């Protein structure tokens, strides 16, 4: 019989818990979380009420507050850690991770300061460990409710990707492989910024035409930067790009869209963030995106306006007026 890969998952938020519950159906899974109450809830009640209220987790899933316990026997490490904590948690785990074990990121963000993707952080800190990403239009609550969804496991080594595909796929959760790690990560990070823009329009009462226009032009921005950074057009038109963008921009379950909606209603960013128990990656990512756009010489007007609202005090109305002032040319032109 084929040996089942043992999974060590770091991160106790909604998406990390969901993935851990999914992998527990296929492989022995130990999940690490800082919150002792969440760990106790998972082990005793098969729930994580703090982040997934009402959802029942796989009964075989185990949780721990010890990083060492979570990773020391794992055949694959999954990082469900926000971008601002990713490096620190990996540093904590590194001494206990066995050689050559693949490390897969669930994080849809970019590191501030270094502008690095999460797999770049893994490769720089853990040379010899294959680095990959699981991404796509995946809203945690829908997957926990058993609704159909699709994701992408991206690794440079297709053999490893196919092996990990068996760990993640389950029932109505379909997982495809892809060797375009760059495109998958850029798509996942940038869609959060566009979702804030869409949410701002919704919060101000804009209609479906506006929403469609922002999503479509946002996809053009995402694709331009993704290609300049080495991603493939097909990836950015697929699940990791357009698919994830649509889900994040239209779903009321989307954290980044929620931030945009509340901004559009005139609320202060600090107040919105303080009321959220989970991270909206687009808030931090938009600054890095603008830095990358300048570095690669790519025009990204929607992302620029989101940055101005989030970091420079512009109002959402001023941002949308800024977009309307953009010169209009061919649809294939930037802007």
C-alpha distances (whole Å) from 268 to each of 138, 264, 284, 314 are 28, 10, 16, 11
- What percent of the chain shows pLDDT beyond 90? 90
Q: pLDDT band at 327, cuts 50/70/90? A: low
Sequence-distant (6+) residues with CB within 8 A of 50 are 35, 37, 38, 41, 277
**What structural domains and CATH numbers belong to the chain?**
7-179 (3.40.50.720), 184-324 (1.10.1040.10)
For residues 18 and 82, what is the distance between their CA atoms, to the nearest angstrom?
Answer: 15
- Segment among 234-238, 243-247, 325-329 with least mean pLDDT: 325-329
> Which two three-digit tokens encode residue 90?
């990996």
Lowest mean pLDDT among 108-122, 145-159, 209-223, 267-281: 267-281
Give the pLDDT score at 4: 87
User: Is 3 a catalytic site residue?
Assistant: no
Amino acid 197: pLDDT: 96
Tell me the pLDDT of the chain averaged across its residues: 94
Catalytic entry in 108, 191, 284, 287 = 191
Could you say which DSSP state residue 170 is in? B
């Amino acid at each position: 019989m084929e040996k089942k890969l043992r999974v060590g998952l770091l991160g106790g938020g909604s998406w990390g818990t969901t993935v851990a519950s999914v992998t527990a159906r296929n492989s022995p899974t130990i999940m690490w979380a800082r919150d002792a109450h969440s760990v106790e809830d998972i082990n005793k009640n098969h729930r994580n009420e703090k982040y997934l209220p009402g959802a029942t987790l796989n009964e075989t899933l185990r949780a721990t507050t010890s990083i060492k316990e979570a990773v020391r026997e794992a055949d694959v490490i999954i990082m469900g850690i926000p971008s601002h904590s990713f490096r620190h948690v990996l540093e904590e785990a590194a001494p206990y991770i066995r050689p050559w074990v693949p490390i897969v990121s669930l994080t849809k963000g970019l590191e501030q300061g270094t502008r690095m993707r999460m797999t770049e952080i893994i490769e720089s800190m853990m040379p010899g460990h294959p680095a990959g990403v699981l991404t796509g239009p995946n809203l945690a609550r829908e997957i926990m409710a058993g609704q159909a969804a699709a994701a992408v496991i991206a690794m440079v080594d297709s053999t490893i990707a196919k092996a990990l595909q068996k760990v993640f796929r389950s029932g109505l959760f379909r997982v495809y492989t892809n060797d375009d790690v760059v495109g998958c990560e850029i798509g996942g990070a940038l869609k959060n910024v566009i979702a804030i823009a869409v949410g701002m329009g919704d919060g101000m009462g804009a209609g479906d035409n506006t929403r469609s226009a922002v999503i479509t032009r946002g996809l053009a921005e995402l694709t331009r930067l993704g290609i300049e950074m080495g991603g493939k057009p097909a990836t950015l038109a697929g699940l990791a790009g357009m698919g994830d963008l649509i889900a994040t921009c239209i779903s009321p379950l989307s954290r980044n869209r929620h931030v945009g909606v509340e901004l559009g209603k005139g609320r202060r960013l600090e107040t919105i963030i303080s009321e959220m128990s989970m991270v909206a990656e687009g808030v931090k990512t938009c600054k890095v995106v603008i830095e990358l756009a300048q570095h690669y010489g790519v025009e990204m007007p929607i992302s620029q306006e989101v940055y101005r609202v989030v970091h420079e005090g512009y109002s959402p109305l001023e941002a949308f007026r800024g977009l309307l002032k953009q010169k209009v040319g061919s649809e294939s032109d930037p802007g």
